[in-house]
């Protein structure tokens, strides 16, 4: 059996979220201990909670929502790149030769900050996004909360993604994943009108 790496954050109370965004909560609706035949609960969360896929609607008012997004970019062979030590943003020189690879995931953390919000996370230079698009890449992922810096008002990396019609995964957990080639499976939920969706992202060992 092929080895599987779960590269998703655990959705839970206390999950760090973008400053000012909705905190995650999970509350019971019906409980067996109170006489209900089943347990049922309710979730309150941001569409960008934990590991998530940005839909084009997130950065383009005319963009596709999560429900309308094609699933193909989120499924298939990908390259995990060790980009630790990149500083404020990942430059083109960090990326190795792709040889037709259409999905690229960047690891920037030595150890993913599960219990704290890191406002100085590593972003990706828009020129790097444009270069990846020119190589045929259709999905870019990163272990930080965003492709752009937290204080960005222009969202230049997201605009570069939009110009190339690429897709985005953010908040991945890549601590235990060696650099190299894998099969990616990280499907967004079909949430009508949503600008993003949490995903259960996994990498599977290639044959």
Residue 26 annotated as part of some ligand binding site: no
Residue 18 annotated as part of some ligand binding site: yes
**CA 149/CA 89 separation, integer angstroms:** 8
Asked if 139 contacts 167 with a C-beta cutoff of 8 angstroms, the reply is yes
Is residue 18 helix, strand or coil? coil
Is residue 129 helix, strand or coil? helix
Residue 72 annotated as part of some ligand binding site: no
Residue 48 annotated as part of some ligand binding site: yes
Which residues are annotated as catalytic? Answer: 58
Is residue 197 helix, strand or coil? strand
Spatial neighbors of 67 by CB under 8 A, at least 6 apart, are: 190, 191, 192, 193, 194
Residue positions forming the annotated binding site for substrate: 18
Binding residues: 18, 48, 52, 54, 158, 170
């Amino acid at each position: 059996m092929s080895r599987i790496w779960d590269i998703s954050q655990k959705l839970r109370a206390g999950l760090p979220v973008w400053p000012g965004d909705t905190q995650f909560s999970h509350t019971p609706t019906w409980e067996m201990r109170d006489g209900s035949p089943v347990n049922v609960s309710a979730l309150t969360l941001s569409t960008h909670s934990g590991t998530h896929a940005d839909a084009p609607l997130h950065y383009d008012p005319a963009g596709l929502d999560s429900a309308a997004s094609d699933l193909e970019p989120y499924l298939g062979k990908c390259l995990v790149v060790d980009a630790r030590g990149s500083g404020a943003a990942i430059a083109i020189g960090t990326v190795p030769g792709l040889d037709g690879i259409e999905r690229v995931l960047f690891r920037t953390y030595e150890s993913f900050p599960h219990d704290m919000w890191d406002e100085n996370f590593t972003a990706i230079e828009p020129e790097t996004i444009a270069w990846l698009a020119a190589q045929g890449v259709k999905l870019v992922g990163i272990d930080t909360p965003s492709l752009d810096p937290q204080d960005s008002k222009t969202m230049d990396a997201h605009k570069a993604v939009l110009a190339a019609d690429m897709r985005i995964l953010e908040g991945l957990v890549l601590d235990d994943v060696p650099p190299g080639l894998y099969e990616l499976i990280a499907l967004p939920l079909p949430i009508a009108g949503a600008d993003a969706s949490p995903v259960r992202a996994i990498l599977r060992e290639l044959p």
